[in-house]
Amino acid sequence: MDILKQFDGLIEEENIIAQLKKESLPLVMWGAGSLAVDVMDYLEKNGIHLSDIFVDEEYYSEGMSLNGCKVLSYSMLCEKYSQVNVILGCSNYEKMKALENEPIVRKVFYLFSIIYNVYEKTKLDFVSEHITVINKIYEMWEDDFSKEIFLAYFKTRISGNYKYVLDVYQHECNYFNNDVFKINRREVYLDVGAYNGDTIRLFLSENGGGYKWIYALEPDDFNRGELKQYIKDACLKNITVSEKGAWNKKDVLNFCSNLAPTSSIDDSNKEKDNIVHIDVDRLDSVFDYDEKITMLKVNYYEGIYETILGAEKILKEHKPKLAIVVGFDEEMVLKIPQIIHAINPAYRFWLRFNRGMIATLTLYGMAD
């Protein structure tokens, strides 16, 4: 296949700020979670002001607010406005079409990329410059659906148009419930970027609460505190938690903390109030593993490549099932399968969008 031809005639979205500045209707945001805060900040920095924020009736509770702004239910929104434009402030991009069909909604806008403040499109030159590698990675995917997803990801990153993702997105899946592999009640699960225990909760709900052991890394003090509180409140046993970050060697690195789910390694060398120093080490060395790891999940922005380099022994000897989020960065989509294959050629790879959003693009892997 001539992959470059796949990018001919892309329907490119105009810059979102330029679009919004042309509109005269009130602009309201759908969603009131952590991503909504990022959207609000981005809009404010670019001179776009929200008229209101709303959520679906099922998520509304009296007195809700976001950054000091009152949050409305959809019915309250309908009472206040006869017509509005909506910008998405959550990751449920697949529900965009449903919003477009609401009587008071004229247009629905979105930032094609939100998480970790990554808003810029990928230049087509990137594809041209990396075409040899892109062709190689394209052939590495185990099924045709992964190849379609691979192309859709780049089409959306280049054009900023979400139609390419939504055209291939089928249904919500997750690290533990997908069409690539099944988990069981005897897993030894390594959770890299454990946050407040959200994926451990998901893991337990998908396998009926059974497991042999869970190893969890979370270097953010606040997140790790919530994680440990969850473990205590749920009376969970056989869980080992580390405050270290995952890297390719033992070191001390800058870490951008107190950003809830988006805390991460920071190599910008810029002065920031929330920068702390954390100890990092190879995944091979962070824990004394009494059992072979059977399931490895990695989900954060900076340092995934280094994390994989530091997991050489685990990948060679333990051969766990893999769920690695790669959608934050187009280079990671290319680098991660290559380095895993170099470490252990027995691995096979699939791509899936866990949600209808490019940042949820996840590499799934299994070794024969």
What pLDDT digit, counting tens, does each position of 307-319 carry? 999 999 999 999 9
pLDDT computed for residue 141 by the predictor: 98
Alpha helices, H only, 174-314: 198-206, 221-233, 283-286, 304-309, 312-313
Residue 138 has pLDDT above 80, yes or no: yes
Could you give the CA distance from residue 190 to residue 236 in angstroms, rounded to a whole number?
15
Domains of the chain: 16-111 (3.40.50.720), 188-367 (3.40.50.150)
pLDDT computed for residue 115 by the predictor: 58
Residue 199 has pLDDT above 80, yes or no: yes
Q: 256 pairs with which residues across the strands?
A: 264, 275
pLDDT computed for residue 300 by the predictor: 83
pLDDT computed for residue 121 by the predictor: 80
pLDDT computed for residue 266 by the predictor: 52
pLDDT computed for residue 16 by the predictor: 84
pLDDT computed for residue 94 by the predictor: 74
**Nearest residue to 11 via CA among 147, 160, 149:** 160
Residue 97 has pLDDT above 90, yes or no: no
pLDDT of 68-80, one tens digit each?
899 999 999 999 9
DSSP-assigned letters across all residues of 37-54: HHHHHHHHHTT---SEEE
Residue 256 in contact with residue 271, Cβ under 8 Å? no
Pick 144 or 9 by higher pLDDT: 144
- Split at pLDDT 50, 70, 90, the class of 191 is very high
* Alpha carbon separation from 66 to 33, 50, 89, 197 (Å, rounded): 8, 12, 11, 23
Mean pLDDT for the chain overall: 90
pLDDT computed for residue 122 by the predictor: 86
Residue 158 has pLDDT above 60, yes or no: yes
Determine whether 29 is exposed, middle or buried from the number of CB atoms within 10 Å of its CB (0-12, 13-18, 19+): buried
- Split at pLDDT 50, 70, 90, the class of 132 is very high
Could you give the CA distance from residue 342 to residue 364 in angstroms, rounded to a whole number?
16
Residue 103 has pLDDT above 70, yes or no: yes
**Nearest residue to 42 via CA among 106, 151, 117, 99:** 117
pLDDT of 267-316, one tens digit each?
544 555 568 889 999 999 999 999 999 999 999 878 899 999 999 999 99
Could you give the CA distance from residue 198 to residue 192 in angstroms, rounded to a whole number?
12
Residue 350 has pLDDT above 80, yes or no: yes
pTM for the full predicted model:
0.86
pLDDT computed for residue 117 by the predictor: 56
Pick 61 or 35 by higher pLDDT: 61
pLDDT computed for residue 302 by the predictor: 81
Question: Alpha-carbon dihedral of residues 354, 305, 279, 34, nearest 10 degrees?
Answer: -30
pLDDT computed for residue 262 by the predictor: 46
**Which residues contact residue 61 at a Cβ distance below 8 angstroms, ignoring those fewer than 6 apart?**
none
Residue 358 has pLDDT above 90, yes or no: no
pLDDT computed for residue 173 by the predictor: 92
The arithmetic mean of pLDDT across residues 250-260, rounded, is 75
pLDDT computed for residue 263 by the predictor: 46
**Nearest residue to 333 via CA among 178, 168, 155:** 155
